[in-house]
Each structure stands twice: as structure tokens, then as C-alpha cells.
Chain A
Amino acid sequence: MVRWILAAMAALMMTAGLAAAQQGPLHIEIDEGVIEPLPYALPSFVDEGAGGLTHDITRVIADDLSGTGLFREIPEAAHIQRFGVFDTPVSYADWQAINAQALIVGAVGMSGGKVVVKFRLFDIYSGAQLGDGQQLAASPQSWRRLAHKVADVIYARVTGESGYFDSRVVFVSESGPKDQRQKRLAVMDYDGANVTYLTDSSTIVLAPRFSPQGDRILYTTFETGFPRIKMMDVGSASGQLLPEVPGTMTFAPRFSPDGNSIVYSLEQNGNTDLFQMSVNGGGAQRLTNSPAIETAPSFSPDGARIVFESDRSGTQQIYVMPVGGGEPVRISFGEGRYGTPVWSPRGDLIAFTKQAGGRFFIGVMRTDGSEERLLTASFLDEGPTWSPNGRVIMFTRESPGASGGAKLYTVDISGRNLKAIEGVGGASDPTWGPLLP
């Protein structure tokens, strides 16, 4: 995707009316926990020849920003100033009057068969443009990605952190009754758009995991009649089974942060331990040797440690061990059972599933087990995965009973903004891929 910087606009619009402004510079500090979302205005982008895409792109940008729970859109009907031309000077007083703190002005055109989006972000109370204007171009079928890229830039400028909108999620699409559930591997945009199926429903598939680059997927398949790990190339949707030890089951694979090796569970004679092998299938190496169940391993982002679950204490609990060998250290000590730990991409937190009192919870704790915080609770929540910036968690929520089904949800690490991903039908086992280049 081509991207270049437009000349920054002169920002000398300060007027007397500004004296009343009570806010500081445009900024959201995510760590503080946002109670009141930041009001922003996003006038429909100026149509410079892209037709209906202009409106569509504007709305996806709004959905991305408002969907975070950090921003609140001021409806266009309330706007005073209108932008018939992209370069129209901003009347800050008109935006202060409706209490907008941020204004996004943009235009969408066509050039050489590509959709071209340009936009500027304004800080209304400072009366100045925030950052340079930008222009992005992509093929028409990638128009949603263009919108996500614009929203990612705005999110990054206002929060000081990288965004997560231009990303994809691999998951298991579910259909059919509970006792004959059909499962297919699928990929979607982070917001549930553009679902693509990677397998048919002829066999059970479980827990797909993206490679760090998002180009490959590891998952567990029953296609041989027994759980086996398969690696698929996303571009060609072609895959191959990893080598097996006859008479064993292999499952719960994850890539290392460099994408070169795989950590997974291997079951033999009823006992499940952790192993590691190279992505080309060689060099299988045992990591744990205990009569307990060791499964659901996940690397720390620096690749030095592995977090996993084990019932060696008598119940499922979370442990951390050095990759190079060494005694695992238990980090979960609260009431109940803890499983499916996943290390945050920022390295600071571990997300997990907790089971207590007949309920399931998604939570986070520091990597030493301190400061445990439960974010969700329901009949059955499980399998958290992190947004690329480590601020949002996606997980599976299953409803009870004969007609029960699985859906994907997201929640902030503050526990706010719980939302279902709509439009993808039954779905489970998400893994959030990287921010796309």
C-alpha cells in the first residue's frame, strides 16, 4: 500500500472563543481507564470520484473509532460546518459549539484504478491540526483496509499507542446442532467482515493459531481420525500434517515469536506433556516430563519463556518456565481452575480462562501472577487472544442448553466495552493476527 505525507496545513486558527476551552491537548491515556469517551466529528468524506465508497469508508472509520469505547461520534446532523471541498479551512468555533474535541476531514477519489483516501485530524480545543495530513491508496476490493488504516493512524495519534483495526482473526466457524457440530477453519477482518473459509466441514478442526507474520496457521485436525497438528499457508490455503509419533495425539500448537518453531502438546498412554519442534517438522524435543496434563502453551514475546497450564497440583493451574529448561513456577493461586494462558504482545500481562463456582471468566494477571483481574463472567467464556497492541481481548462465549452456541466477543483489558462480533454466525477459538503491513 502506497502511503505518503501531504504537506501539513497551516494551523493558525486560534480565536478569542478558545479562551473558554476547558480541555488540554487532544489525548487519551488508555492506562487511566476512560470513563467518558472522547467526542469526535467525522463529516462524510468529500467524494472526489469514488462514489458510494466514500460514504462506506467514512462509516468504517467511525465504526472502528466508536467501537473502541474510547471515542464517541457526534452525529453529522449536529454539525454546523460542512466540507464540500477537502481544503476548506476549519471553523474551530463551529466545532467547539457542538463540543467536538477531534475533527477528521477527508476525501476519497480514484487514481490509476486505485482508491485514494486523504485525511487530516484536528485538535479542536488547541485549534490546530494534529500531525500531518496523510494519503493512502489501495485497490477497490481493499477499501475496508484503507478505512482501517486511517482509523489506526487516528487512534495512534490520540492515544500514543499503535492501533489494531487493520488486522485479521483466524477462528473456527461453527454450524449445526450441538451434538453434530460442524467446524470449519475461517479468517475474518478484526470486525467480522470479509469471512473466508479455509477448510470444509468434513472433519473437526480446533484452535487455529496465526504465525507472528500472519502468513501461516497451525491448527488441530481430526482428518486422520486422531487429533494431529497441521500447518497451513494462508495464501494458498494448502496445508501439511506435522510428523507424528505413532499411537500419540498432538494438539494445542503455537508458534514461537520468530515463527521458526512450534510448541505443542503430545499425548501418549493417556499422559499429555509439552514438546517443541522446528516448523519444518524436525528436532522434536520434550519440554516437560510429568504424569500430569501439560497443555495450552504460549511463548513470551521475547521467546525466552513459555506459559502453560498443568494439573500437577491436582487442579488446572498456570505455570511459567524458561524455554531453555528449568523448573516451572506456578503463578495462579486464586480460587478455582485456571487454563489457556496467553502472553500479551506487550509482555506485561497474561490472559487466561478461569473456572470457579460453575462459571467461566476471562481475566488477566501480571506475569508473576499478581494483580489478577477478571474481565468477563458467563456460563462459558474461554480461549482469550490479544489484539496486536495488547489493549483488547477476543474470546469465545458459549450459551447453555440444547440450543446453545458459540460466538466471538471482545473486551478491553479494563473490563469495559464488552461486545459480540456480529455477522459471522457460530464461531469459536479466535486468534488475533498481527497489524497488517
Chain B
Amino acid sequence: MQLLTKAALGLALVALAACNNPQGMGGVNDPGGAFGEGGISQGALNDPNSPAYFSATVGDTVNFLVDQSTLSDGARTTLAGQAQWLNAHPNYAAIIEGHADEQGTREYNLALGARRASAVQEYLISQGVAATRLRTVSYGKERPLAVCSTEECYYKNRRAVTVISIGAGS
């Protein structure tokens, strides 16, 4: 599913970049169709309507304290920006992925990741995003972003990521 979402996202970037940058950015007009990743994200980052802009500039990730799912003030600010973007782009839906660091047992961390994803979902709904556009999933400790075994990495891994997908949800 994660891979599918990324694949769909890649296609969306190509389409958007082609529409909004007729002169062609990066490798979009590469006749062979083999475009470099850098070219695509550069074009997309400059386009406030692109999911890449959402993830890089609005910010797709919020972090949590140990064994907590409470949203910090900083997280609320990020999520308010996410809600604003989602409200301005009603043709997109989102899957919120909840994650935990490795300092916990497997089942508990799945449940904890779900709590975090749900906290983000509730906040986005409170900011006017339709519940039907949002889904949650927990990966527990199965998909760490950072691989060291210190608090520096654990903090990065205790996160919820809002992944934009095509379609306004069901």
C-alpha cells in the first residue's frame, strides 16, 4: 500500500508538473521518459498545489514524546497548515501513518501508532477536513525513518505522517 501510494504520487507529480510548467522542469520532457528524481521534486516543490509541496513545505510529519499521542503546540501548527492545504485541494485524500520507536513491544507499538494517527486525524477533522477524506494506519515499529538506537533517532521515529493520495476518499 505504501508503495502503491508512492507510485500514484509519482504519477501525480508528473501530471502536475506537466500542466503547470509548460516549459518543462527537470526531466519531465525527457523523450525517453526516464526522469531524474531531483528534477521532478524541484518542479513540484515550487508548485504549491503539488503533494511534494505539501510534504516538504507544509510539512507532512509531526513527532511525539515517548509513549504519548498528545499533539504539541508545534504539531498543531503543522497540522493547521495541513488542514488548510487539504481544504484548498479537495480532490486529494490522505492516509495518516502512525509510527513508534523501537523501545516498545510489537503489539503495543501497533496500538500506539494507531493512537498517534488518530490524534492527527481528529485534529484535521476539527480544522474542517472531511472525515471521509482521511484514513489511518499504524506501522508500529516496523518502518523506522532513522536507524540509530538513541533518542535522536527515536524522536524522528515517533511520528505521524500525512501521505497525500489521489481521489477525494470514499
Partner pick for B106 among A181, A222, A267, A382, CB 8 A cutoff: A382
A345 at the interface (CB under 8 A from B): no
Whether B106 and A270, one on each chain, are in contact in the complex, defined by CB atoms closer than 8 angstroms, is no
Max count, chain B CB within 10 A of own CB: residue among A207, A226, A379: A226
Interface membership of chain A positions 373-387, coded 1 if the CB is closer than 8 angstroms to chain B and 0 otherwise: 000000110110000
Residue of A nearest to B138 (CB): A249
Bound CA–CA A426/B110 (angstroms): 21
Given A181-B142, A249-B137, A249-B138, A380-B110 contact (CB < 8 Å): no
Residue of B nearest to A206 (CB): B106
B148 at the interface (CB under 8 A from A): yes
B8 at the interface (CB under 8 A from A): no
Given A181-B142, A225-B2, A296-B105, A404-B149 contact (CB < 8 Å): yes
Bound CA–CA A299/B122 (angstroms): 35
Whether A178 and B144, one on each chain, are in contact in the complex, defined by CB atoms closer than 8 angstroms, is yes
Q: How far is the CB of B118 from chain A (nearest CB, A)?
A: 3
Whether A272 and B114, one on each chain, are in contact in the complex, defined by CB atoms closer than 8 angstroms, is yes
Whether A225 and B4, one on each chain, are in contact in the complex, defined by CB atoms closer than 8 angstroms, is yes
Which residues does chain A contribute within 8 Å of B108, judged by CB atoms? 293, 295-296, 309, 311, 316, 339
Bound CA–CA A269/B69 (angstroms): 13
Whether B1 and A383, one on each chain, are in contact in the complex, defined by CB atoms closer than 8 angstroms, is no
Given A265-B111, A267-B111, A270-B117, A226-B1 contact (CB < 8 Å): yes
Bound CA–CA A339/B112 (angstroms): 13
Whether A355 and B147, one on each chain, are in contact in the complex, defined by CB atoms closer than 8 angstroms, is no
Which residues does chain A contribute within 8 Å of B118, judged by CB atoms? 269-271
A54 at the interface (CB under 8 A from B): no
Whether A353 and B144, one on each chain, are in contact in the complex, defined by CB atoms closer than 8 angstroms, is no
A340 at the interface (CB under 8 A from B): yes
Interface membership of chain A positions 258-275, coded 1 if the CB is closer than 8 angstroms to chain B and 0 otherwise: 000000010101111000
Partner pick for B105 among A179, A204, A222, A382, CB 8 A cutoff: A382
Interface membership of chain B positions 101-129, coded 1 if the CB is closer than 8 angstroms to chain A and 0 otherwise: 01111111011101101110110000000
Select the stretch in A66-74, A124-132, A162-170, A395-403 that faces chain B: A395-403
- Interface extent on A, as a size class? 35 or more
Bound CA–CA A360/B163 (angstroms): 33
Number of A-B contacts (CB under 8 A): 108
Would you list which residues of chain A between 209 and 259 have a CB under 8 Å from chain B?
220, 222, 224-227, 247, 249, 251-252
Which residues does chain A contribute within 8 Å of B137, judged by CB atoms? 225-227, 249
Would you list which residues of chain B between 131 and 157 have a CB under 8 Å from chain A?
135-140, 142-149
Which residues does chain A contribute within 8 Å of B145, judged by CB atoms? 179
A429 at the interface (CB under 8 A from B): yes
Whether A270 and B119, one on each chain, are in contact in the complex, defined by CB atoms closer than 8 angstroms, is yes
Which residues does chain A contribute within 8 Å of B114, judged by CB atoms? 249, 267, 270, 272
Q: How far is the CB of B156 from chain A (nearest CB, A)?
A: 11
Which residues does chain B contribute within 8 Å of A17, judged by CB atoms? none
Max count, chain A CB within 10 A of own CB: residue among B107, B115, B139: B107
Whether A401 and B148, one on each chain, are in contact in the complex, defined by CB atoms closer than 8 angstroms, is yes
- Interface extent on B, as a size class? 35 or more
Whether A267 and B143, one on each chain, are in contact in the complex, defined by CB atoms closer than 8 angstroms, is no
Which residues does chain A contribute within 8 Å of B144, judged by CB atoms? 178-179
Which residues does chain A contribute within 8 Å of B110, judged by CB atoms? 206, 220, 227, 249, 251-252, 267, 295
Residue of B nearest to A294 (CB): B111
Whether B111 and A272, one on each chain, are in contact in the complex, defined by CB atoms closer than 8 angstroms, is yes
Which residues does chain A contribute within 8 Å of B138, judged by CB atoms? 227, 249, 267
Given A267-B114, A272-B114, A206-B142 contact (CB < 8 Å): yes
Q: How far is the CB of A207 from chain B (nearest CB, A)?
A: 6
Partner pick for B104 among A178, A355, A401, CB 8 A cutoff: A355
Residue of B nearest to A379 (CB): B149
Which residues does chain A contribute within 8 Å of B4, judged by CB atoms? 225
Given A226-B137, A380-B102, A251-B1 contact (CB < 8 Å): no
Bound CA–CA A271/B115 (angstroms): 7
Which residues does chain A contribute within 8 Å of B147, judged by CB atoms? 177-179, 401-402, 404
Which residues does chain B contribute within 8 Å of A401, judged by CB atoms? 147-149
Whether B107 and A340, one on each chain, are in contact in the complex, defined by CB atoms closer than 8 angstroms, is yes
Whether B105 and A353, one on each chain, are in contact in the complex, defined by CB atoms closer than 8 angstroms, is yes
Max count, chain B CB within 10 A of own CB: residue among A220, A267, A295: A267
Bound CA–CA A319/B115 (angstroms): 21
Interface membership of chain A positions 404-427, coded 1 if the CB is closer than 8 angstroms to chain B and 0 otherwise: 100000000000000000000000
Which residues does chain B contribute within 8 Å of A309, judged by CB atoms? 105, 107-108
Q: How far is the CB of B151 from chain A (nearest CB, A)?
A: 10
Would you list which residues of chain A between 15 and 56 have a CB under 8 Å from chain B?
none
Q: How far is the CB of B167 from chain A (nearest CB, A)?
A: 14
Bound CA–CA A224/B139 (angstroms): 13
Which residues does chain B contribute within 8 Å of A315, judged by CB atoms? 67
Whether B111 and A225, one on each chain, are in contact in the complex, defined by CB atoms closer than 8 angstroms, is no
**Cross-chain pairs A/B with CB under 8 angstroms, 12 sampled:** A178-B144, A181-B142, A225-B2, A225-B137, A249-B114, A252-B110, A267-B138, A270-B69, A270-B121, A272-B115, A382-B105, A398-B102
8 tightest A-B CB contacts, nearest first: A225-B1, A270-B118, A400-B149, A272-B111, A339-B105, A293-B111, A402-B147, A178-B147
B interface with A by C-beta (< 8 Å): 1-2, 4, 67, 69, 102-108, 110-112, 114-115, 117-119, 121-122, 135-140, 142-149
A interface with B by C-beta (< 8 Å): 177-179, 181, 183, 204, 206-207, 220, 222, 224-227, 247, 249, 251-252, 265, 267, 269-272, 293, 295-296, 309, 311, 315-316, 339-340, 353, 355, 358, 379-380, 382-383, 398, 400-402, 404, 429
